[in-house]
A = this chain, B = another copy of it.
Amino acid sequence: MLRFEVTILGSGSASPTLSRNPSSQLLNLSESYFLIDCGEGTQIQLRKNKLSWAKIDHIFISHLHGDHYLGLLGLLQSMHLLGRKKKLHLFCFPELKEIIDIQNKYSFTVLNYEIEYHFLSNNSFDKISETKTVSVYSFPLNHRIPCVGFLFRENEGSRKIIKENLIKYNVSNAEIHKLRKGINAVDENGNEIDFTLLTEPSYQPRSYAYCSDTKYDESLLNYLKEVDVLYHESTFLTDLKDRASATYHSTAEQAALIAKKANVKKLIIGHYSARYNSLDGFLEEAGQVFNNVFLAKDGVTFKI
C-alpha cells in the first residue's frame, strides 16, 4: 500500500494560541505533498515537522478567512527565495489571485516559478485535480463566506499479479505490464487469457475528506458517504451551540453526527476556539455520538 497520511500543521481557529496554529494540513500520498489551507505560520510548521516544501506541488485554499490563508504569501515567497522552478498548482477562489498579485506588485516580486491557478466554485461538486495517484474534488460548505471542502480519493491501484497462475496459464513476464492495468494477456501459444484469472484487485482505494469551516449541514452527507477519514471542524462545545450556528461553525457533537450519518470510518476534529485550553470536552462530546474520533493536534500525523 502506498503511504497515505495527513499531518496537522494547525489545529486552531481565528485566534492562534501558543500550542495551536491556524488551519493547515499536509496530505502525503506516496511522497507527493498536498497542502490544505495555509494559516499564518504554516511555513514554520512545515520546517518544524521536517516536511520539505519542495515536495508540495498542489495547494488548496478552502476560503478567504485569514486563518486559512495568511501564511500562503510567506510560503510562496520562501519557495521563490529557495530557488523553486517547478510549477505550483493553486486551487482557490479567484479573489486570492488578486490578493497575491497586489502583494507581489508592491514588493516588486516576480516569482521565478509559475503558479497555475484552478478556480473553485462554491455551488457544485467538482473534480478539480487528477494525478497518477489521487483525484481531488471540491464541494460547497455552509459558511459565512464562500467556502469549500475537499475530497481526496485514491485512484484504483495497479492489479496484483498471481505469480503461480502466470506459470499455470503459460503467460510470460512480458505480459505483466498490461495485466497490472487490467488488460487481457496473451499466452505463449497466442491465446488470450482474461486478466482476472492472472491478477487480483489491489487494496481498496482510500479517501480523505476535509471540511474546514461550516455550520452543521446534512447536505454534506452527499459528498462524505463512507469516506475512510473525515476531518470536520468543531470550533465549539455544545454549550455554545447557538454561537456555533450564528458564526457558521459546528460543535464537536455536530461534527460527530455528520461522521455517523455519513458512515465514515474515522473522524478527526479540530479548529478549536482559543477559549478552550483543554480539549477533553471535545473528545467527550463527539465520542458520545461516534466512537472512532480523534483530536487534531499540531504536529500529529494520522494514517488514512
Q: Give residues in A with beta carbon < 8 Å to B.
A: 14-18, 21-22, 40-41, 43-44, 47-48, 64-67, 70-71, 73-74, 77-78, 81-82, 93, 95-96, 98-99, 102-103, 106-108, 144-145
- Closest-CB distance, A213 to chain B (whole angstroms): 11
CB A284 to nearest CB in B, in angstroms, measures: 26
Which B-chain residue is minimally distant from A42 (CB atoms)?
Answer: B40
Contacts A14-B81, A66-B107 supplied; 16 other A-B pairs, CB < 8 Å? A15-B78, A15-B82, A16-B44, A18-B48, A40-B41, A40-B44, A67-B74, A67-B77, A70-B73, A70-B74, A96-B106, A98-B102, A98-B106, A99-B99, A99-B106, A107-B145
- 5 A-B pairs, CB-CB below 8 angstroms? A14-B77, A40-B70, A40-B74, A64-B103, A64-B106
Distance of A111 from chain B, by nearest CB (Å): 12
Q: How many copies does the complex hold?
A: 2
Nearest-Cβ distance from residue A199 to partner chain B, whole angstroms: 48
- The distance in angstroms between the C-alpha atoms of A71 and B22, with both chains bound, is 13
Also in contact, A144 and B66, with CB within 8 A (given A15-B78, A102-B102): no
What are the residues of chain B within 8 A of A22 when measuring CB–CB? 74
Expressed in whole angstroms, the minimum distance between the Cβ of A155 and any Cβ of chain B is: 34
Q: In this complex, what residue of B is CB-closest to A77?
A: B66
Q: Among B21, B65, B70, which residue has its beta carbon within 8 angstroms of that of A70?
A: B70
Q: Are A40 and B71 in contact (CB under 8 A)?
A: yes
Among B41, B66, B73, B93, point to the contact of A44 (Cβ < 8 A).
B41
In contact, B102 and A106 (Cβ under 8 angstroms): no
Which residues does chain B contribute within 8 Å of A18, judged by CB atoms?
44, 47-48
A99-B102 Cα distance, complex, nearest whole Å = 7
A17 and B43 CA atoms in complex are apart in Å by 9
Give the distance to chain B from A11, nearest Cβ to Cβ, in Å: 14
A43 to B39, CA, bound (A): 13
Query: Complex: how many Å from CA A74 to CA B74?
Result: 13
Residues of chain B contacted by A71 (CB below 8 angstroms): 40
A159: shortest Cβ distance to chain B, in Å? Answer: 45
CA distance A145 to B110 in the complex (A): 14
* CA gap between A44 and B40 in the complex, in Å: 10
Q: How far is the CA of A140 from the CA of B99 in the complex (A)?
A: 27
Chain B residue with the shortest CB-CB distance to A64: B106
**Contacts A66-B73, A99-B102; is A78 near B14 (CB within 8 Å)?**
yes
Bound-complex Cα distance A182 to B77 (A): 54
Q: In the complex, A106 Cα to B61 Cα: how many Å?
A: 14
